[in-house]
């Protein structure tokens, strides 16, 4: 096979997949499909997970397609959270390959990602999904998922109906393939926007990216743009969040996943998003405010609005403002405003840990509100969204995994199965909850796994770790009754277990993560299935880059470092050198995180299959 026909290459462009969908398949699986399309650099997966869980909680048959897959190629395609059975997925892919080989095209055969995308669309069609939530693979404009038409139906842009497009945070991503500047990359990602559809734009760290996204959105679909302009502050503490299940057809709630008992200060199930939204999204899209500004208001009504604003702020202050965040700047209606134009308020749980998840939840909420307001998804009540946000899980993103026994002793990964310890069972939940008989969980029992693979994600990971370690130090300080008391401001060191794909800016990422006194272990990851273009950096190269890049090393401060041949060796070493004075964190690549789940024999999507 010629190099140009190698399906294992990354091949951007829509000619091959559109030809296959329209001319090769017996029927086009997009015909009756309604889609929420999600692009961006960081946050895409979390936004897809939040939207999908809320739709499922509301009773809709919901398809989800993520890229890349997590453990196996079939888990990228899910219906109501359950992956395609492996055997059926293999049969589907074999059928697609056979059809592709039997109908040669001047554009060449489908790439592996195009085959996977066709398989996802066919699976959604077979299962008669009500809606599909689809994550862009790379970029957007020329990505294989960009094959859907506008909400009004078939057009030259594609088949099916792309109802909402979410543009998450855009950063330097796949440089050289989809652009060389953040503006060029943003232009590629907004290529999924369709005329007449609704666009939800996440807060952007790069001004140039934001202006490019807004410019294109206003040109293609004016008046249908929701801009989440304000990123709420986060890691909020909410003691007792509760909500009614009466309005939801699916009231089965998940309990929090296992986690160290000191992490609850900063994570699962203890925070909420306070949302204030208008009865009509037209109001916000046209004015940028949550309530309409009066066209002819008197000075007294303006004063009343200002007084109401001050009263609202005072009430929030008295009610501890750190317990709630608003999606956008509130603009209270005056007493003279009609009651129907007043904003609506609701609280939604934030289960996914990390300060960045409030922004992702804002994007997801607006996408859901658009679906129920304009596209007939009337079962998406606030109660259903609350249940969906409570039930959401997104493995490998700030995930706490147990690597030691409950008594604090280490476990040899090569000889002992840890799947039961990480299973979402009542016993494992109780070991990490407030009802545990142990005062403070031991650090050597846990490892924090996160797929952070670029600078913004690394910065968020470090912020999360700093907050967690401060809480842990405070808890230890309070509970120490004998011996020397270390002040809770003393930061606990981190043991970083890292692996990176080739082409990543390893030095810049490590600068965000590693502090003086930390330890750095470098390790390769296994070759991802159906992704031959992905190669891992050699551990020695990572360590050499770290020594060149970390400035405190030049200033005399040092850090310990070591290279390993496999992740199994790392886990064995952790078992041998268990320490309650160091936090273990594995990051740098989602492929490395996936290897950790395999080593620990954790199947994160099994519970979703059992819920059906």
Question: How far apart, in Å, are the Cα atoms of 355 and each of 3, 398, 400, 432, 468?
Answer: 44, 11, 16, 22, 12
Q: Which tokens sit at 46?
A: 């979390």
The residue among 150, 288, 162 whose CA lies nearest residue 226 is 288
Q: What does the pLDDT average to over 225-247?
A: 49
Which residue is listed with tokens 């009865």?
279
Residue 457 has pLDDT above 80, yes or no: yes
Whole-number pLDDT of residue 242: 43
Query: What is the maximal distance between C-alpha atoms in the chain?
Result: 78
Residue 451, phi then psi, degrees to nearest 5: -85, 20
Q: Which helix (H) or strand (E) holds 64?
A: strand 62-65
- What secondary structure does DSSP assign to 331-351, as a single string? -PPPTTS-GGGS-EEEEEE--
Which residue is listed with tokens 């739709």?
55
Q: DSSP label at 446?
A: E
Q: Burial letters for 104-123: b for 16+ Cβ neighbours within 10 Å, e otherwise? A: eeebbbbbbbbbbbbbbbbb
Q: Which helix (H) or strand (E) holds 330?
A: none
Q: What does the pLDDT average to over 219-238?
A: 66
Residue 173 has pLDDT above 70, yes or no: yes
Given a contact cutoff of 8 angstroms between Cβ atoms, the answer to whether 539 and 578 are in contact is no
Whole-number pLDDT of residue 183: 93
- CA 410, 414, 415, 418 torsion-angle sign: positive
- Percent over 70 (pLDDT), the chain: 71
Mean pLDDT, the chain, whole residue set:
78
Q: What does the pLDDT average to over 445-467?
A: 91
pLDDT-derived band at 238, boundaries 50, 70, 90: very low
**Among the ranges 66-70, 157-161, 413-417, which has the highest mean pLDDT value?**
66-70
Residue 33 has pLDDT above 90, yes or no: yes
Q: pLDDT, tens digit, for every residue of 314-360?
A: 333 332 223 333 343 333 333 334 545 566 777 888 888 887 888 89
Determine the Cα–Cα distance for residues 385 and 56; give it in Å rounded to an integer: 9
- What secondary structure does DSSP assign to 538-589, as a single string? PHHHHHHHHHHH-HHHHTT---EEEE-S-HHHHHHHHHHT--TT-EEEEES-
Determine the Cα–Cα distance for residues 75 and 81; give it in Å rounded to an integer: 9
Residue 180, Cβ density class (10 Å: 0-12 exposed, 13-18 middle, ≥19 buried): exposed
Whole-number pLDDT of residue 279: 64
* Residue 519 CA from chain centroid, whole number: 27
Whole-model pTM? 0.82
Q: pLDDT, tens digit, for every residue of 113-155?
A: 999 999 999 999 999 999 999 999 988 899 999 999 999 866 6
Given a contact cutoff of 8 angstroms between Cβ atoms, the answer to whether 194 and 157 are in contact is yes
Residue 235 has pLDDT above 60, yes or no: no
Whole-number pLDDT of residue 331: 33
Q: Who's near 142: CB < 8 A, 6+ residues apart?
A: 12, 13, 14, 178, 188, 191
Q: DSSP label at 191?
A: G
Residue 550 has pLDDT above 90, yes or no: no
Whole-number pLDDT of residue 258: 77
Q: Which tokens sit at 475?
A: 């808890």
Q: pLDDT, tens digit, for every residue of 481-521?
A: 655 555 555 678 999 999 999 989 999 999 999 998 899 99
């Amino acid at each position: 096979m010629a190099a140009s026909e190698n399906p294992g290459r990354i091949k951007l462009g829509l000619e091959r997949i559109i030809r296959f969908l329209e001319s090769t398949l017996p029927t086009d699986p997009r015909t009756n499909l309604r889609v929420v399309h999600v692009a961006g650099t960081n946050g895409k997966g979390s936004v897809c997970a939040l939207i999908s869980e809320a739709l499922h909680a509301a009773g809709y048959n919901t398809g989800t397609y993520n890229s890349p897959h997590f453990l196996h190629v079939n888990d990228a395609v899910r219906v109501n959270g359950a992956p395609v059975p492996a055997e059926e997925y293999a049969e589907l892919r074999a059928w697609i390959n056979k059809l592709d080989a039997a109908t040669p095209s001047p554009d060449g055969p489908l790439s592996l990602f195009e085959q996977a995308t066709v398989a996802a669309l066919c699976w959604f069609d077979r299962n008669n999904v009500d809606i599909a939530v689809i994550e862009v693979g790379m970029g957007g404009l020329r990505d294989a998922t960009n094959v859907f038409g506008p909400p009004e139906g078939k057009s030259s842009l594609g088949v099916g109906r792309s109802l909402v497009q979410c543009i998450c945070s855009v950063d330097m991503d796949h440089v050289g393939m989809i652009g060389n500047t953040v503006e060029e990359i943003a232009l590629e990602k907004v290529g999924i926007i369709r005329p007449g559809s609704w666009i939800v734009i996440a807060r952007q760290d790069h001004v140039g990216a934001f202006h490019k996204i807004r410019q294109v959105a206003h040109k293609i679909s004016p008046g249908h743009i929701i801009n989440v302009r304000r990123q709420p502050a986060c890691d909020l503490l909410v003691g007792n969040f509760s909500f009614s299940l009466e309005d939801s057809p699916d009231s089965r709630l998940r309990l929090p996943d296992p986690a160290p008992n000191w992490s609850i200060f900063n994570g699962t199930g203890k925070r909420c998003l306070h949302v204030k939204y208008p009865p009509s999204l037209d109001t916000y899209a046209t004015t940028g405010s949550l309530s309409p500004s009066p066209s002819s208001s008197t000075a007294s009504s303006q004063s009343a609005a200002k007084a109401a604003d001050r009263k609202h702020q005072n009430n929030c202050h008295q009610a501890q403002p750190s317990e709630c965040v608003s999606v956008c700047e509130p603009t209270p209606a005056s007493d003279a405003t009609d009651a129907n134009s007043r904003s609506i308020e609701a609280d939604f749980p934030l289960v996914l840990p990390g300060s960045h998840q409030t922004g992702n939840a804002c994007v997801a909420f607006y996408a859901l509100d658009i679906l129920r307001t304009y596209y007939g998804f009337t079962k998406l009540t606030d109660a259903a969204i609350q249940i969906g946000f409570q039930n959401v899980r997104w493995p490998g993103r700030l995930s706490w995994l147990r690597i030691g026994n409950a008594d604090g002793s280490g476990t040899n990964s090569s000889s002992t199965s840890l799947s039961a310890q990480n299973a979402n069972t009542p016993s494992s939940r109780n070991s990490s909850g407030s009802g545990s008989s142990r005062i403070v969980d031991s650090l050597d029992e846990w490892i924090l796994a996160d797929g952070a693979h670029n600078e913004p994600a690394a910065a968020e990971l470090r912020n999360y770790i700093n907050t967690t370690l401060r809480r842990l130090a405070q808890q230890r300080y309070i509970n120490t009754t004998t011996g020397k008391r270390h002040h809770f401001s003393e930061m606990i060191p981190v043991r970083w277990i890292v692996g990176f794909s080739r082409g990543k800016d390893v030095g810049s990422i490590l600068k965000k993560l590693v502090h003086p006194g930390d330890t750095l272990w470098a390790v390769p990851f296994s070759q991802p299935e159906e992704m031959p273009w992905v190669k891992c950096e050699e551990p020695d190269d990572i360590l050499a880059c770290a020594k060149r890049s970390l400035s405190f090393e030049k200033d005399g401060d040092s850090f310990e470092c070591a290279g390993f041949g496999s992740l199994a060796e790392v886990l064995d070493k952790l078992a041998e050198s268990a320490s309650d004075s160091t936090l273990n964190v594995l990051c740098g690549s989602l492929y490395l995180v996936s290897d950790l789940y395999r080593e620990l024999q954790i199947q994160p999507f099994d519970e979703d299959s059992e819920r059906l």
